[in-house]
């Protein structure tokens, strides 16, 4: 069993340059028994359900969970497996796709700000504002002079959110190129998953190294104490789920949430 908290082991240290070549996407940090890990995951999910209830009852702060990763990295799977512990009544999932319509008529953070969860709520971003320093950079959609300024803009934006009561936690689901290939092939072999595959996925793989360098810069420049990034080894889905759940439990614990005190005289209230 791991001797240190995963929230410490997997944290992208603020102020330090990230080198993904030194991260093993198959690492499990001492968790060698899959069945025991799954049992711990279930305990974490039970705990998260309680913590979300406390957040909802307190209604003074919110939690924003950001999920990023290369295609087939496991964003959907993480939401499906880990976030199911949350009551849907207090959760909003936003999937950020290519800007369209009204979104294209505003700055790149406009649509993101609109999706920030309200007090007492959990917001989950499947992709996020970081696409504007990732895909935009890799495909030269805007000049370098534009996207390089966005790191500071994103940091200022997230700091403002944190100062306003939004607890931000960001996960980079890290798989290697072989694992991505395996997952793409599974999508092609399974008729029920064919729809998830796009010919464009093949083209994007040609930019693998460029994406890794873009992720390194985005995470290294934007992991802050008020909005930390965690690099999750995600080749093994069971460890990915355990790690994300463990870090979320720690994040909620650090918030020291409190159920509101009962109204005066509640113990004397009786119903006929």
Q: What tens digit of pLDDT does each residue of 173-198 get?
A: 999 999 999 999 999 988 888 887 78
| CA-based R_g, the chain, Å | 20
Look at 58-72, 85-99, 196-210 and tell me which has the smallest mean pLDDT.
196-210
pLDDT of residue 4: 60
Q: What is the pTM of this model?
A: 0.94
**Res 263 pLDDT > 90:** no
CA gap 54, 66 in Å, rounded: 21
pLDDT of residue 3: 40
Mean pLDDT of 243-260: 96
Instruction: Return the structure tokens found at 30.
Output: 């001492």
Cα–Cα distances in Å, from 181 out to 28, 76, 184? 21, 17, 5
Mean pLDDT of 85-108: 96
Q: Let me know: does 25 contact 176? Beta carbons within 8 Å.
A: yes
Question: Going from the N-terminus, what domains does the chain have, and what CATH number goes with each?
Answer: 9-255 (3.40.50.300)
pLDDT of residue 184: 93
CA gap 160, 130 in Å, rounded: 16
């Amino acid at each position: 069993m791991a001797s240190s908290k995963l929230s410490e082991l997997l944290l992208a240290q603020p102020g330090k340059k990230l080198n993904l070549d030194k991260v093993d996407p198959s690492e499990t940090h001492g968790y060698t028994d899959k069945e025991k890990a799954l049992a711990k995951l279930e305990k974490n999910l039970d705990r998260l359900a309680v913590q979300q209830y406390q957040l909802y009852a307190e209604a003074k702060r919110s939690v924003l969970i950001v999920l990023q990763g290369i295609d087939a990295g496991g964003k959907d799977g993480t939401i499906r497996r880990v976030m199911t512990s949350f009551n849907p009544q207090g959760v909003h999932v936003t999937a950020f796709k290519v800007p369209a319509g009204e979104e294209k008529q505003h700055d790149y953070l406009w649509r993101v700000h609109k999706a920030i969860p309200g007090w007492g709520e959990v917001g989950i971003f499947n992709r996020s504002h970081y696409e504007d320093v990732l895909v935009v950079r890799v495909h030269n959609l805007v000049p370098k002079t534009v996207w390089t300024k966005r790191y500071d803009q994103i940091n200022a934006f997230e700091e403002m959110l944190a100062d306003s009561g939004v607890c931000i936690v960001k996960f980079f689901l890290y798989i290697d190129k072989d694992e991505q290939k395996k997952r793409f092939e599974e999508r092609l072999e399974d008729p029920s998953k064919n729809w998830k595959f796009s010919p464009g996925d093949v083209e994007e793989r040609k930019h693998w190294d460029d994406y890794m360098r873009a992720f390194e810069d985005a995470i290294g420049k934007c992991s802050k104490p008020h909005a930390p990034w965690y690099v999750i080894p995600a080749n093994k889905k069971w460890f990915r789920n355990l790690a994300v759940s463990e870090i979320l439990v720690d994040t909620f614990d650090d918030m020291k949430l409190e159920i509101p005190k009962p109204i005066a005289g509640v113990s004397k209230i009786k119903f006929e």
